[in-house]
């Protein structure tokens, strides 16, 4: 009887661990959104005062500040969301 070797081939056992980013959920925004947010921020958020850097406030603070400042800067909802994403992604905590 022919011996059919089972088709199991051990191909160099390279583990493919899904690169899940752990511990940094606040940075999980699409890169395009962060880039857009940064561009809007550097244009609209530096007019009346210095540009407050992302790390100057915590994510919690940004959530309160950005809607207030977005009104001053006359941003629409998407622009405001992009700026918030950018600021939170680099926030102090």
Q: Which of 49, 76, 77, 93 binds ligand HEC (CB under 6 A)?
A: 49
Could you give phi then psi for residue 56, rounded to 5 degrees? -80, -15
Q: Which is closer to ligand HEC, CB of 22 or CB of 77?
A: 77
Distance CA 45, CA 18 (A): 37
Q: CA-based diameter of the chain, in Å?
A: 86
Q: Which is nearer to ligand HEC, 66 or 85 (CB)?
A: 66
Using rule CB under 6 A, residue 32 touches ligand HEC:
no
CB 66 within 8 A of CB 41: no
Residues that bind ligand HEC (CB under 6 A): 44-45, 47-49, 52, 57, 65-66, 69-70, 72-73, 75, 83
């Amino acid at each position: 009887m022919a011996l059919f070797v089972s088709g199991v081939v051990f191909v160099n056992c390279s583990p493919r661990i899904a690169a899940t980013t752990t511990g940094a959920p606040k940075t999980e925004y699409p890169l395009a959104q962060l880039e857009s947010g940064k561009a809007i921020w550097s244009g609209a958020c530096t007019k009346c005062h210095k540009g407050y850097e992302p790390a100057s406030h915590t994510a919690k603070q940004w959530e309160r500040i950005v809607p207030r400042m977005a009104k001053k800067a006359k941003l629409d909802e998407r622009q405001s969301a992009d700026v918030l994403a950018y600021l939170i992604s680099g926030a102090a905590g």
